[in-house]
């Protein structure tokens, strides 16, 4: 079989790829990668940085490219066949990773180079790569006796499959639920655009009426605007119960197994817990530091959150006689209260945020700050006709990156938003090989009468993911393993979160926030209201985010072997941050994809950690002007282009001139004056 994945390709050959190509291509690429390792091991020359560390770094390139294509398809365009292949290849890839990480002869060569590190006159990036490579072996069992290596292999194999199944279960639960409404009065309060989308979905399924689903563009508007409290409750219970039904898609046993296996793995490697293992390679360093950080923010946020909750409960009582505020009431009454206090709601804002205009806006912001130009092209093959592609160049017309953008929900696409890379940036044989970057979102679809009009939250999501994309596109390092977003996990959210700040600034909004029918620039009074309302219910929002960080740490910073009930454990973890009454049939952990499917285990705190960095960084921009080229150039040169080539705090201080201070975040959030 001619396999396009095994032919030489620069751009992912989506138009030629068939699902059947993946398994043989990955097996073949593993064989090639193993041969490259064998060449290093069998090389009779004395181990050097060039013939060992560098050679290893550039090896496995084909395998990395094929798997990046495959796993993004499994997230953005999956089907039963792709999911079956994922289940088959995950243990194979895990076994391959362990074959490398536990290869004693290879480690001896790396160790030999590492022992001479002070005499090799390495450049900073080379020194970082050597340190990272040595630690990746020493931290993953290279020094273990054979029996423990076997245990590690078995655990890693099982973890890779459990994580996949966890995600498949959530996707299945999300896809199988639909709420068909045949009485228009049940849609009372819902904006016209949301009604139209629900009607279009019903028609596409050959049904009369309106269909509401658990996909964010359907779920969020219903929870925010629908007047029918019972239907909001039904939807919220379905959303909160994913993976918790006790059926074929139940994730409770998987959650318990993953947490216990991670703990066993950490213990085999000599760490007290999975969190101790993970955090050794993070800015936070220890679980104690994470708890201290979360508690410090919580001390400021909790009193504000409790005041806001009482205010919200009193408002709901006054408006509708609600005596006890429930989780399915939060978004609805928050929106009503926001409208009352600020005369501002998303329906007033959405006409100014046509998707195409917001895309143009984020491109203009990147153009002013970093000199980038974006040209849409239809010459690039994609995995779905909805995916847009752009050639990205600098102010001299030099090619910088390829950018893919996939904006709307589909049945084979998981919820949420993410950035990924199909080809990393690196300098090889004197050539600066430029990256291919992708962002994937789930925004409101256009309807027969309206274009895709974004909520303000969706606008900030697009800027967030584009911040990650800039980190990938502007990468300028020698080694792919240190390029772009290959940084400490609690540093990776800085570029994404800092870019969100431009969404609140008049100078930036005037570039793109234009009425989709009249072309009128967003009125200044609305801009002021956006800024005023930015800290609305910030105490509750902060406490909610802290609760997720605490839940994550509760699974990973201790021995979970005594936990028998996922729900009871979760209730204890949430005890200090709980505002709403508990819902017995709901469970967060069983759908907490960030930590049980994605890479955020013992790392969810990093969103808040990065907010401290981003608030402090944006303060610097504001002091000098949000489009100040000098500050932007420093951010590009010391953060965006540098990837993981140095300790992130060193990079940050070089950009900012000082360590970040939490005061900027607390002040921005309105939690301190």
Q: What is the pLDDT of residues 365-386, one digit of tens each?
A: 999 999 999 999 999 999 999 9
pLDDT tens for 141-187 read 999 999 999 999 999 999 999 999 999 999 999 999 999 999 999 99
pLDDT tens for 451-467 read 999 999 999 999 999 99
Which pTM value belongs to this model?
A: 0.91
| Confidence bin at 1 (pLDDT 50/70/90) | low
The DSSP secondary structure of 178-242, one letter per residue, reads EEEE--GGGGTT--HHHHHHHHHHHHHTT-SSEEEESSHHHHHHHHHH---HHHHHHHHHHHHTT
The domain covering 19-101+103-143 belongs, at the CATH homologous superfamily level, to: Endopeptidase. Chain P; domain 1 (1.20.1050.40)
Closest CA to 542 of 669, 672, 673: 669
In angstroms, rounded to a whole number, what is the distance separating the alpha carbons of residues 271 and 96? 24
Average per-residue pLDDT in the chain? 96
Whether the predicted pLDDT of 567 surpasses 80:
yes
Whether the predicted pLDDT of 4 surpasses 70:
yes
Task: Give the DSSP H/E element, type plus range, for residue 425.
Answer: none
Are 400 and 394 in contact by the 8 Å Cβ rule? The answer is yes
Are 332 and 324 in contact by the 8 Å Cβ rule? The answer is no
How high is the pLDDT of residue 75?
96
Q: What angle do CA 423, 425, 429 make, to 5 degrees?
A: 110
Q: Which tokens in the block code for residue 79?
A: 């089907």
* Span 48-73, average pLDDT: 97
* Span 421-426, average pLDDT: 98
pLDDT tens for 184-204 read 999 999 999 999 999 999 999
In angstroms, rounded to a whole number, what is the distance separating the alpha carbons of residues 214 and 205? 16
How far out from the chain centre does Cα 55 lie?
Answer: 30
Are 106 and 40 in contact by the 8 Å Cβ rule? The answer is yes
Helix (H, G, I), strand (E, B) or coil at 48: coil
Closest CA to 443 of 505, 531, 557, 350: 350
CATH number for the domain whose boundaries are 250-319+535-673: 1.10.1370.10
How high is the pLDDT of residue 478?
98
* Span 477-487, average pLDDT: 97
How high is the pLDDT of residue 464?
98
How high is the pLDDT of residue 671?
86
Q: Which residues make up the CATH 1.10.1370.10 domain(s) of the chain?
A: 250-319+535-673
* Span 93-106, average pLDDT: 95
| Confidence bin at 619 (pLDDT 50/70/90) | very high
How high is the pLDDT of residue 585?
97
How far out from the chain centre does Cα 297 lie?
Answer: 22
Other Cβ atoms closer than 10 A to 177: 18
Q: Which residues are catalytic?
A: 465
Mean pLDDT lowest among 46-60, 245-259, 652-666: 652-666
| Confidence bin at 135 (pLDDT 50/70/90) | very high
CATH number for the domain whose boundaries are 351-521: 1.10.1370.40
């Amino acid at each position: 079989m001619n396999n396009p994945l095994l032919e030489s390709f620069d751009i992912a050959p989506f138009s030629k790829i068939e699902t059947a190509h993946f398994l043989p291509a990955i097996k073949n690429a593993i064989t090639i990668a193993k041969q490259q390792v064998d060449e290093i091991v069998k090389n009779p020359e004395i181990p050097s940085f060039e013939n060992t560390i560098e050679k290893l770094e550039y090896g496995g390139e084909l395998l990395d490219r094929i798997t990046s294509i495959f796993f993004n398809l499994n997230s953005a365009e999956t089907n039963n066949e792709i999911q079956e292949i994922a289940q088959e290849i995950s243990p194979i890839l895990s076994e391959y990773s362990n074959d490398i990480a536990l290869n004693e002869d290879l480690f001896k060569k790396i160790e030999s180079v590492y022992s001479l590190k002070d005499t090799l006159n390495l450049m900073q990036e080379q020194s970082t790569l050597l340190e990272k490579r040595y630690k990746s072996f020493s931290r993953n069992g290279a020094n273990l006796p054979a029996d423990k290596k076997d245990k590690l292999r078995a655990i890693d194999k099982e973890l890779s499959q459990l994580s996949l199944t966890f995600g498949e279960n959530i996707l299945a639960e999300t896809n199988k639920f639909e709420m068909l409404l045949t009485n228009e009065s049940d849609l009372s309060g819902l904006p016209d655009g949301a009604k139209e989308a629900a009607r279009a979905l019903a028609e596409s399924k050959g049904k009369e009426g309106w269909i509401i689903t658990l996909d964010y563009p359907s779920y969020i508007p219903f929870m925010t605007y629908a007047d029918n409290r019972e239907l909001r409750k039904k939807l919220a219970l379905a959303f909160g119960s994913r993976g918790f039904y006790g059926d074929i898609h139940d994730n409770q046993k998987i959650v318990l197994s993953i947490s216990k296996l991670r703990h066993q793995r950490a213990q085999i490697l000599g760490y007290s817990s999975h969190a101790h293992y993970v955090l050794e390679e993070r800015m936070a360093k220890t679980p104690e530091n994470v708890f201290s950080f979360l508690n410090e923010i919580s001390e400021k946020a909790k009193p504000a959150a409790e005041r806001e909750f009482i205010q919200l409960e009193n408002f709901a009582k006054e408006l509708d006689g609600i005596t006890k505020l429930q989780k399915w009431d939060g978004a609805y009454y928050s929106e009503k209260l926001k409208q009352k206090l600020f005369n501002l709601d998303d329906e007033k804002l959405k006409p100014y945020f046509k998707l195409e205009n917001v895309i143009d806006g984020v491109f203009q912001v990147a153009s002013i700050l970093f000199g980038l130009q974006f040209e849409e092209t239809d010459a690039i093959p994609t995995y779905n006709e909805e995916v847009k592609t752009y050639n990205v160049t600098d102010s001299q017309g030099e090619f910088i990156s390829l950018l893919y953008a996939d904006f709307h929900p589909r049945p084979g696409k998981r919820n949420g938003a993410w950035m990924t890379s199909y080809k990393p940036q690196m300098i090889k044989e004197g050539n600066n090989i430029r990256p291919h970057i992708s962002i994937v979102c789930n925004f409101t679809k256009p309807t027969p009468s309206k274009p895709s009009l974004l909520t303000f939250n969706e606008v900030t999501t697009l800027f967030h993911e584009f911040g990650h994309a800039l980190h990938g596109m502007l990468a300028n390092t020698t080694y792919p393993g240190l390029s772009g977003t290959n940084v400490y996990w609690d540093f990776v959210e800085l570029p994404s979160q800092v870019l969100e700040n431009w969404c609140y600034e008049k100078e930036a909004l005037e570039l793109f926030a234009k009425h989709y029918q009249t072309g009128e620039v967003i009125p200044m009074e609305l801009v002021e209201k956006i800024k005023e309302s930015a800290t609305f219910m910030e105490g509750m929002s902060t406490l909610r985010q802290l609760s997720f960080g605490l839940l994550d740490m509760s699974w990973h910073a201790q021995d979970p072997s005594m936990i028998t009930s996922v729900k009871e454990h979760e209730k204890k973890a949430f005890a200090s941050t709980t505002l709403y009454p508990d819902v017995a049939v709901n469970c967060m952990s069983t759908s907490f994809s960030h930590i049980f499917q994605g890479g955020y285990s013992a790392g969810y705190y990093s969103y808040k950690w990065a907010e401290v960095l981003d608030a402090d960084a944006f303060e610097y921009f504001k002091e000098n002007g949000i489009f100040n080229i000098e500050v932007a150039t420093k951010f590009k040169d010391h953060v965006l282009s540098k990837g993981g080539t140095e300790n992130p705090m060193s990079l940050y201080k070089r950009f900012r001139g000082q360590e970040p201070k939490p005061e900027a975040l607390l002040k921005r959030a309105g939690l301190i004056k």
